Structure 1
Amino acid sequence: MATAQQPWSPGWAGLTTPSEAGAGQEAPAAGPGLPAPGPEGDPAAVAAGSPGAHSGMTTRELQEYWRGEKGDRKPVRLIFDIASARIEEGTPCRFVMYQVVVIQTGSYDSTKAVLERRYSDFEALQRGLLRAFPEEMEDVAFPGKRLLGNLAPALIAARSRALAEYLRQLAALRGVRRSRELLDFLTRPELREAFGCLRAGQYARALGALGRAGPLQARLTAHRPAAAAPALCAALLCLRELERPLEAFAAGERALARLRDGHRYLEPLLDAMVRLAGALGRDCAPLQRRLEDCQLRRPGPRGLTLKELAVREYLD
């Protein structure tokens, strides 16, 4: 029986339709089974008392361990660029749309996400970050607004360079890099589009939007993996409706790996996975046992289905 590649892992193309192939929607994933270093991979931080499997090592042993780790893997980081800019006809006036390229580097891949944002989107990001990180943002330069000449080619080119540098400065700040504000700026428009298409039954379009935002969201939420589970569940639903059950099951497995007991998505996801496993002729007994355990811990009427839960996301 053919097997499906894991969604949002290197080489997986399940979130692209034939017309979208080659649109630059690569799919990064963190390597399984690797021990997590301390803050920013600092062995001294680990030695200072971080609990875990290596807490019994001496400082020298820890330093040697992390030197070996760093020899095998590079730290994941984000590189930003403004690839192009174009003038759009809007209401009530014209505006500039900037194409932002996010390159995600690491040991396992060096992939990119491409998204488009207006200057007003950058302004909203700056306001949110100033509220959340006033001290960290003191030295971050943000290109100001001009009353006249905003559509002049020279100004657009200069602002493109300044916005790219602004994003690079944000990526250098650990707290900002992991913040809800930056995550929403980079992924929320595409995720809202994806879940809107899911509600409308436009499953292929939803997959296209998920393919643009999902891999980047998963990478940015590695420190809180459950945050990417709704998007993976949406991918499962779309792939199931498009009669691609192997890929749907792979998306579900990826989502299950991110969820802990008690999460609102766990029980409906397990129910959907039991049904998919049965349709694929796979052993569904482990999934069924886990589902029954969840149901025993939550007495009362049956909860929402996976689709009923997913269509409620991003309604604001």
Structure 2
Amino acid sequence: MASRLLHRLRHALAGEAAGAEGPEVEEFPESSELEDDTEGLSTRLSGTLSFSNEEEEDEELGDPCEPGLPRDVGVTENGDQSPSPAERPGSSQLTRQLQDLWRRSRSSLVPQRLLFEVTNASVLYTIYLIRSGQFDKAPATIARRYSDFERLNRRLRRQFSCDMAGVSFPRKRLRRNFTAETIAKRSRAFEQFLAHLHSITEIRRSAAFLEFFFLRDLQAAQRLTCSGMYQEALATWSNAYRLQDKLGICNSGRFLLTLAGLAVCHQELDELSEAHCYCEKALQLLEAQDSHPLLEPFLQAHIHLSWKVGKEKHQSEARLQGLPGSGVARQQQLTLKEFLIKEALD
């Protein structure tokens, strides 16, 4: 019985391999082809999409976390696959076929060190951003509706029509749109959608793509800070910090505003050492800039906090004195908290 099943599986795999040599199939079908909600997507996307360094990609024989992937094939010193201890040529051949299919399924996207995982709960989709290749103890998380993905898709197609021509987007279904099966399939489709977007350099760096992840957190954190809800605001600023860190934009104006929010909330909660630390991070980013609107507020806050926690403040005082502008103009300068509250986030 087992040999008969193995024989059938071998023939099925051989049919897939033969089909792969036929006419080239479009890797990212147009959205019209996804009318049945991601039926055309590979079943290998039932987990998460992980992107790692290219050298790591070459070294892997397969993903050890992929369900059902045989793990009884060794590697000799020259890199060749060795037969199993029981010298089972049929099993070894089957293993190599599965590994080849797995590698082909992963080779369509440019490897990046970021992983998107989309899970669902009713109509909200939870997205985890996790660094691959290492244990990420602080993944960033957001929750988005289908309409949020749809809005991102429209913005990017207007701005990057050529790049977006090959990116598929799952359509809503007229019937059974909110069944558990449909939402689960759409979660896998959104993983592929975000992964494809992230593989295109221009889109990955665009404001539309980046703000899809963190702008809402910044706006919520700003509202909470203005309302004096510093503990709640701190959690939201912290998540926005992690999101921007994962996306690799730690030198942008939005990131500096995030550092300002963290410093202000920690200071209001009497956590002065933490507030001082975020001020120092910001001043390191502003080291080569003398005209940034946040430079003086950060210097003022750093001097005050350094005095409070007993840290060295002479360098910040000297830099503040060296900034252009009269003493009267400096007295009218907004504090870090005032700047944070008045900054328009849209």
Could you state the TM-score of these two structures normalised by the residue count of structure 2?
Answer: 0.63
Q: Does the aligned pair in 2 maintain the 1:125–1:181 contact within 8 Å?
A: yes
- The aligned residue for residue 84 of structure 2 is none
Q: Distance in 2 between matches of 1:139 and 1:103?
A: 25
Dislocated runs of 4+, deviation >6 Å: none
Are positions 1:274 and 2:303 aligned together? yes
1:116: Cα distance to partner? 0.7
Q: What SS does the corresponding residue of 1:193 show, helix, strand or coil? A: helix
Q: Which runs of 5+ in 2 are unaligned?
A: 1-52, 55-110
Alignment check: 8 A CA contact 2:297 2:335 kept:
yes
Alpha-carbon distance in 2 for matches of 1:299, 1:182:
42
* Aligned-residue offset at 1:174: 1.3
Matched, 1:182 2:209: yes
Structure 2 Cα separation of the partners of residues 144 and 298 of structure 1: 60
Q: Which residue of 1 aligns with 2:118?
A: 82
2:141 is the alignment partner of 1:114: yes
For residue 210 of structure 1, what is the amino acid of its counterpart?
W
Q: Do structure 1's residue 312 and structure 2's residue 321 form an aligned pair?
A: no
TM-aligned CA deviation for residue 180 of structure 1 = 0.9
Counterpart contact for 1:98–1:117, Cα < 8 Å? yes
In the TM superposition, residue 187 of structure 1 has moved relative to its aligned partner by: 0.7
User: How has the CA–CA distance of structure 1 residues 295 and 110 changed in structure 2, closer, same or farther, with 3 Å as cutoff?
Assistant: same
- Structure 1 position 86, deviation (Å): 1.8
**Counterpart mapping for 1:166-181 below 5 A:** 166-181=193-208
Q: Deviations over 1:190-243 (max 9, x none)?
A: 111111111111111011111212122134243744431100011000000100
Indicate conservation of the 8 Å contact 1:270/1:288, yes or no.
yes
Q: Is the 8 A contact 1:176 1:182 kept in 2?
A: yes
* Aligned residue pairs, count: 235
Q: Which has the larger Rg? A: 2
Residue type of the partner of 2:185?
A
| Secondary structure at 1:189 match in 2 | helix
Q: Deviations over 1:273-294 (max 9, x none)?
A: 1111111122211101111122
Q: Which residue of 2 aligns with 1:59?
A: none
Distance 1:174 1:86, change over 3 A: same
Q: How far 1:249 sits from its partner (Å)?
A: 0.3
Q: Give the whole-Å Cα distance in 1 for the aligned partners of 2:336 and 2:148.
A: 32
Alignment partner, residue 236 of structure 1:
263
Q: CA deviation at 1:134?
A: 1.2
- Give the one of 118, 121, 127 matched to 1:100: 127
Q: Secondary structure at the match of 2:240?
A: helix
- The amino acid of 1:156's aligned partner reads I
1:152 and 2:188 matched: no
Seen in structure 2, the aligned counterparts of structure 1 residues 211 and 287 have a Cα distance that, compared at 3 Å, is same
Contact map agreement 1:195 1:314 (CA 8 A) in 2 = no
The answer on whether the counterparts of 2:130 and 2:246 sit within 8 Å (CA) in structure 1 is: no
Change (3 A) 1:163 1:244: same
Q: Secondary structure at the match of 2:249?
A: coil
1-structure distance, mates of 2:127, 2:280: 31
Residues 218 and 78 of structure 1, relative CA distance in 2, 3 Å threshold: same
Q: Structure 1 residues 219, 304: CA separation in 2 closer, same or farther (over 3 Å shift)? A: same
- Per-residue CA deviations over 1:248-273 (Å, capped at 9, x if unaligned) read 00011111122222111001110111
Q: Which runs of 5+ in 1 are unaligned?
A: 1-39, 42-74, 88-95
Task: Kindly provide the CA deviation profile for residues 93-135 of structure 1, in whole angstroms up to 9, marking residues without a partner as x.
Answer: xxx1011111123679675212110000001111111122111
Q: Does 1:258 align with 2:288?
A: no
The alignment status of 1:164 with 2:194, answered yes or no, reads no
Q: Distance in 1 between matches of 2:295 and 2:327?
A: 12
Instruction: Please give the secondary structure, in 2, of the residue aligned with 1:243.
Output: coil
1:178–1:144 CA distance, 2 compared to 1 (3 A):
same
Contact kept in structure 1, 2:218 and 2:345, CA below 8 Å: no
Conservation of the 8 A alpha-carbon contact between 1:149 and 1:155:
yes
Which residue identity lines up with residue 273 of structure 1 in the other structure?
H
Q: Secondary structure at the match of 1:77?
A: coil
Higher relative helix content: 2
1:201 aligns with 2:231: no
Distance 1:234 1:159 in 2: 35
Q: Is the 8 A contact 1:133 1:176 kept in 2?
A: yes
Alpha-carbon distance in structure 1 between the residues aligned to 2:133 and 2:297? 33
Given the superposition, is the C-alpha separation of residues 108 and 80 from structure 1 closer, same or farther in structure 2, using an over 3 Å criterion?
closer
Report Cα offsets for 1:123-172 as digits up to 9, x if no partner: 11111111221111110101112333221122111111111111111111
Determine if contact 1:270/1:287 at 8 Å carries over to the other structure: yes
**CA contact 2:114–2:246 (8 Å) conserved in 1:** no
Report 1:294-313 matches (<5 A).
294-296=323-325, 300=329, 302-313=332-343
Asked if 1:288 corresponds to 2:317, the answer is yes
Q: Which has the higher contact order (CA 8 A, sep 6+)?
A: 1
Percent of matched pairs sharing the same residue:
35
Give 2:45's aligned residue.
none
